[in-house]
A = this chain, B = another copy of it.
Amino acid sequence: MDTRTGLPVVGMVGGGQLARMTHQAAIALGQSLRVLSESPDDSAALVAADVRIGTHTDLAALREFAKGCDAVTFDHEHVPTEHIATLAAEGVKIYPGADAILYAQDKQQMRERLSALGAPVPRWRPVTSVEDITAFAAEQEAAGQGWPVVAKAVRGGYDGRGVWMLDGPGAAAELVATGTALIVEERVPLRRELAALVARSPFGQVAAYPVVETVQQNGICVEVLAPAPGLSEALAVEAQQLAIDLANALGVVGLLAVELFETEAGIVVNELAMRPHNSGHWTIEGARTSQFEQHLRAVLDYPMGETSLTAPAVVMANVLGGEPGGMSIDERLHHLFAADPGARVHLYGKQVRPGRKIGHVTVLGDDMTAVRARAVRAARWLQEGKE
C-alpha cells in the first residue's frame, strides 16, 4: 500500500515495453508501477517513477524489490521458478505462481501437461539425439508428412528464436551438437494463427477477450487483427473456452495468452504466455479494458474489466527497427501524423536496431480491409521512413 495515496503498489520484474505500458495503466488506477530493471535506460525505466536496478535471477534483489509491494508480477517469463516459490513461501503475493509459470517457461512441461489435460496439441516428442529426431520424422512420414520437422528449444525461445525447421538428419545433427534441450513437433498444416487472451484473478474470476488473428513474418508477430476475420462463432467460443480451461487448470493469476494454430480440423495450441502479450496490444484502444489494466486488476484481485471491442475492426501492426540512416524516428512520426491523423502510435523509447520491436500502431474502424491497410502503412512509415 502506498501510504501517500491509499492505493496498492504492484512491482513488475523486467523493464521492457510491457512494463512501460503497464505503468500507463497503473497511473489511471491511481498507482505507480514499481519496476525492477536491468538498466536505467530500459523502456519502462525511462518513464516510471519507482525504478529499482537489478536482475531477475538475483534472489536477494527480488526479495528487496518485493518489500512493500501488494503484488509482484513479471514483464517476461525468465524469473527462475525456485525464486518465485521462495518469495511466495515468504508471503509475497507473486503472480503467476511458480506452478503456473513453469508452463510458459518450459515447452516440454507445457506439452506434457496440455497432453494430459486433453488439450489439442501438435504431435510432439522430447528428443536428445539425432536418432530420436529421425525416428520422429519417420513416424511423420508414415502420417504423410516426413521432413522437415519443427525443433524447439525447451527453454528461452521468443520472437522466432529457439525454433528451427529441420530438413533432414544433417540439420538435426548440427542442432543436437549445440547441446540445446529440444522437443520436436509436426509442421502443423495451418490456415492461420490465432490468439486467445484471458485474465484470471486469485478469486477465480476469468475474463476473455475476443479471439484475434496474428500474422507472423520470420517468426515475429507483425500484425494482429481483432476480431479474427471470418472466424466462426463456434470456433471463437471454443478457443476462448480452451483458454479459460487452461487458466483454471494451470492456476494462472494474471494474463494468459494462448497462441493457436487454426487448421482444417480445428484449433491446436502452439505456445502459452503468462503476461501482457503482443497479441493483446490492440486492447489499449480497441477493448473497453486494456490487457495492461486487466493484468493489474487480476494480480490485485480486483474484479475484471469489460473486454468488448470498441470498434468493429481493430488492427495492431508492430514497428520493427529499420536499417540505420535516413529520416530520424521523430521525422518519421511527423510524416505519419500528417498522413494518418487517426493512427494510434506507441513508441517504446528503445534504440532502433534492425528487426527489434520499437513500437506499434493501432488503427480502428468499421472495415477490416481498410483498417488493416492503414495500420500496415503507418507501421511501414515508422519503420522505413517511407510508404
Q: Which residues of A contact B (CB under 8 A)?
A: 1-2, 4-8, 20-21, 23-24, 26-32, 41, 45-49, 51, 207, 285, 288-289, 297, 302-306, 308, 310-311, 328-330, 333-334, 337-338, 341-342, 344-352, 359, 364
Contacts and interface: CB of A to CB of B under 8 A. Distances in A.
Given A6-B352, A30-B329, A30-B349, A305 B46 contact: no
Given A5-B46, A297-B337, 8 more contacts: A1-B330, A4-B41, A4-B46, A6-B328, A303-B337, A305-B337, A305-B341, A305-B342
A226 to B, nearest CB: 15
B8 A330 contact: yes
A31 B350 CA distance: 11
A45 B41 contact: no
Contacts of A346: 28
- What is the predominant secondary structure among interface residues of chain A facing chain B? loop
Given A6-B328, A7-B347, A347-B28, A303 B334 contact: yes
Nearest to A328: B6
A19 B207 CA distance: 32
A355 B50 CA distance: 29
Nearest to A305: B341
Nearest to A207: B341
Contacts of A328: 6
A114 to B, nearest CB: 30
10 contacts: A5-B46, A20-B27, A26-B47, A27-B47, A28-B344, A30-B359, A32-B46, A289-B341, A303-B338, A303-B341
Given A46-B49, A341-B303, A6 B329 contact: yes
B48 A347 contact: no
Contacts of A348: 30
A337 B302 contact: yes
B341 A306 contact: yes
A49 B40 CA distance: 10
A64 B201 CA distance: 46
B333 A302 contact: yes
Contacts of A46: 2, 4-5, 32, 49
A304 B48 CA distance: 27
A23 B27 CA distance: 9
A4 B303 CA distance: 38
B306 A349 contact: no
